[in-house]
Amino acid sequence: MAGSYMPVFLAGRLCAEALALGAGVTCLKTSHQSGHLAAGVMTVGWMAEKSLQPFLAIHASGGTTDLLHVSYDGRDFCVETLGSSLDLHVGQFVDRVGVSLGLSFPAGAELEVLAKTYPDDLPLLELPSVVRHGSPSFSGSLTALERVRHVAVSDGQLAASVFRVIANTFEKMIRYAVEQTGTRRVLLVGGVASNQRIAKRLQDRFLVKRSARSAIDLRVCDPRFASDNAYGVALLAAWHNHL
């Protein structure tokens, strides 16, 4: 992908081009982000629609925290970035907290297990959730966490508080995008989408009864495919060839 901030993908592109040349077939080019979007729209059932309508998306992973407005042209996604992380990506935030607690890197799965040890009905640590014009900042949340961690009753409380502030931040991003675009269908994709605590918190927040006109339809990529970029890229190739 031109101008990619993840140059590791360029090696894959060169390999694909060489294989295509040797096999005498066309090399289709897409992006890491499109792969995650494809996995999301497929697993939530939107590709079964006669025409995929524009939607909002949060692409959240170790190297990405983007707020997107997305449409589909029949071959690939057309993406407008509405907001992007101002400092730490959400996955970096999770990993830094997890490693500081002695967990393995990447720490997301182990931190989620740790969070489950803390009862849902007990209070969480108060951490700031910062979003500026659709762009999140997690450095302040990390600094605040380091300041108050000595008052945490357990590592489980600390872990649960991390996922709560992430969900609160995503909610602010979504509400900003809905207000800016009028689009009310939202998809959460990327490795962080596999986190069930974040997904449940967001779904609970948007399931509050409202009129149909003001409702926000939030969908979350199937966690089995949220981190699997190969699945989405394969889907794009199949759709391109009308398979």
CB-count exposure of residue 60 (10 Å: 0-12, 13-18, 19+): buried
Chain segment 35-47, per-residue pLDDT in tens: 999 999 999 999 8
**Domains of the chain (ranges plus CATH)?**
49-225 (3.30.420.40)
Q: Is the pTM of this model over 0.85?
A: yes
User: What are the pLDDT tens digits along the chain (243 aa)?
Assistant: 455 556 666 787 888 899 999 999 888 888 889 999 999 999 999 988 877 999 999 999 888 999 999 999 877 899 999 999 999 999 999 999 999 999 999 999 999 999 999 999 999 999 999 999 999 999 999 999 998 888 888 999 999 999 999 999 999 999 999 999 999 999 999 999 899 999 999 999 987 555 566 689 999 999 999 987 889 999 998 888 776
Chain segment 167-209, per-residue pLDDT in tens: 999 999 999 999 999 999 999 999 998 999 999 999 999 875 5
CA–CA distance, 107 with 236 (Å, rounded to integer): 30
